[in-house]
Amino acid sequence: MLLSAHQMLNEAKGNGTILLAFEDMTARRAVERELKEMLQQKDVLLQDMQHRVATACRSSQAFS
């Protein structure tokens, strides 16, 4: 849950009100978690691709 509070002042009447808002963050947190996992997977795949390219380059240099 996310709680937001804002003070609203009524200068004409000289009083104020506090506005409270509650927001369910469950879906947002799930999306953030999924995005983080996907970024980690992307990093692993990029490292693997870099390793494979480097290995292929070394192999082609050895045969030439």
pLDDT for position 42: 98
3-state DSSP assignment of residue 3:
strand
Buried b (16+ CB within 10 A) or exposed e, 2-25: eeeeeeeeeeeeeeeeeeeeeeee
Q: Which of 44, 1, 38, 50 is nearest to 21 (CA)?
A: 1
The angle at the Cα of 28, spanning 27 to 34, to the nearest 5 degrees, equals: 90
* Predicted structure pTM score: 0.59
pLDDT tens figures, 2-44: 999 999 998 888 888 999 999 999 999 999 999 999 999 999 9
